[in-house]
Amino acid sequence: MKRAFFYSISLFLLFTLAFLAGYLIRGELFSPQDDQFLVLDQAHKLLLDYGLLEIPDDRALEYGMIRGMLEVYADPYSIFVEPAQHELETNSLQGDFGGIGVDLRKDVEGKVFLSPYPDSPAVNADILEGDQLFAVDELIIEPLTPLDSVLAAIRGNVGETVSLTIGRAPVFTPMKREVIREIFPLPSITSRIHPQENRLGIIQVNMIAASTPEEISSAFTDLQNLGATHFVLDLRNNSGGLLSAGIDTTRMFLREGTILQQQYKGKAIETISVESPGVLADSPLVVLINNSTASAAEIIAGALKQNHRAWLIGEPSYGKDVIQLVFDLEDGSSLHITSAKWWIPDLFPPVGGNGIQPDQLITEDEDDSASMIESARRYFFP
């Protein structure tokens, strides 16, 4: 009797455990999250079953879905970037890349031709001006192949070999060239002495890359050696770049003060300040801005203005006061998501929707290099 009772209880517990295990497994495998995109799945299947046109490959459809999602999200700064463009963007922000030293151009038929730089790895591998490019490793060059994709395929890790299939005039018979990649810098600035005033050094910052603070410091030294005592920091048409590099650049020009405050989603407000006097804190400075000065470039201009460090000449800047985090996706593409807001304390009007306001306004009709630079020269040397 006891044995039968024990057997019944054991059987009951066994069924109960089996039921609970099944329930939990079902909860894992068929959670509500799995039903989240049922309509999308249904639409996708209908397109495959009934679509008259040729269906794009799965990756192209996936990219389209991501872009559609971001369009509904309706943030103009949250964007999806495909692998080739993401790689080139990363190269630019890092300030260098592994390449072979060639320029690419396309003709009207979509053929790609090479122009090697002097003393480059491409020249050393017997690539000549006007050689046609047929393939890069496994990438076959078709008329519709984007140049970004070709550039991304050519670039890669320093010291590694890339295989090019090229053709040479007049017959363009395909032949292989193996080229070892070397480091190529991507300068984020250009600098020069004013042609009529050798006391005035001009530094044009094209983007804010990781190398920008060091490049600016080197440019200041070079210009001082040429006789410059006063300086123009030209941030016109600079759409920004790395936030950290923008902050480091600003610190170079300040002795003390607050640069900005920022707040990420779900986080406390963070204040970014100057920790010690910058190496360029005593150099007389004018900053040029226009409507295309944005993001990290606006941080530099706004912080220098608010801390009474530089005179600003030009137009109100773009007014981008948000920060994007860049997330690498598994196929080499990336998702840029607006994740924080920044502002410069006590700056009026605030940056968002207004832009940084110049101390000396020059309208769009007057916005050219000659008039802007001349205004800066007259500010220092009336």
Q: Write out pLDDT tens, residues 220-263.
A: 999 999 999 999 999 999 999 999 999 999 999 999 999 999 99
Neighbours of 180 (CB within 10 A): 14
Q: Write out pLDDT tens, residues 166-195.
A: 999 999 999 999 999 998 777 899 999 998
Give the 3-state secondary structure of residue 198.
Answer: strand
pLDDT over 90 (residue 315): yes
pLDDT over 80 (residue 337): yes
Tokens of 355: 């832009």
Instruction: Give the sign of the dihedral formed by CA 82, CA 88, CA 89, CA 90.
Output: positive
DSSP strand pairing (258-264 vs 334-343):
antiparallel
pLDDT over 80 (residue 150): yes
As a whole number of angstroms, the distance between CA 42 and CA 62 comes to 15
Query: What is the pLDDT, as a whole number, of residue 34?
Result: 56
Q: Picking from 2-11, 55-64, 169-178, which range would have the lowest pLDDT averaged per residue?
A: 2-11
Whether the model clears a pTM of 0.75, i.e. scores above it, the answer is yes
User: Superfamily for 189-380?
Assistant: 2-enoyl-CoA Hydratase; Chain A, domain 1 (3.90.226.10)
As a whole number of angstroms, the distance between CA 248 and CA 251 comes to 5
* 147 vs 262, more confident: 262
* 19 vs 148, more confident: 148
Question: Is 81 within 8 Å of 327 (Cβ atoms)?
Answer: no
DSSP strand pairing (230-234 vs 197-205):
parallel
Predicted confidence band at 368 (pLDDT cuts at 50, 70, 90)? low
- H helices of 137-211, in order, are 147-154
DSSP per position, 326-357: EEE-TTS-EEEEEEEEEE-TT-SS-STTT-PP
As a whole number of angstroms, the distance between CA 341 and CA 206 comes to 23
Average pLDDT estimate for 362-376: 74
Tokens of 19: 């039921």
Thinking of the domain 97-185, which architecture would CATH place it in? Roll (2.30)
pLDDT over 90 (residue 98): no
What's the one-letter identity of residue 259? I
Tokens of 339: 């994740």
Q: Do domains 97-185 and 189-380 have the same CATH topology?
A: no
* E strand residue ranges, 206-253: 230-234
Q: Write out pLDDT tens, residues 194-211.
A: 989 999 999 999 999 999
Give the 3-state secondary structure of residue 226.
Answer: coil
What's phi and psi for 311, nearest 5 deg?
A: -90, 130
Predicted confidence band at 119 (pLDDT cuts at 50, 70, 90)? confident
What angle do helix axes 147-154 and 83-94 make, rounded to 10 degrees?
60
Query: What is the pLDDT, as a whole number, of residue 261?
Result: 98
Neighbours of 206 (CB within 10 A): 20
What is the DSSP-derived secondary structure letter of residue 156? B
Query: What is the pLDDT, as a whole number, of residue 36?
Result: 81
Q: Tell me the CA distances in angstroms from 246 to 101, 239, 281, one per residue in order.
A: 29, 12, 16
How big is the chain, counted in residues? 382
Task: Indicate the domain borders of the chain.
Answer: 97-185, 189-380
As a whole number of angstroms, the distance between CA 287 and CA 309 comes to 10
Average pLDDT, the chain: 88
HSE-up (13 A, CA, CB side) for residue 301: 40
DSSP strand pairing (112-116 vs 132-136):
antiparallel
What is the DSSP-derived secondary structure letter of residue 208? B
Query: What is the pLDDT, as a whole number, of residue 370?
Result: 73
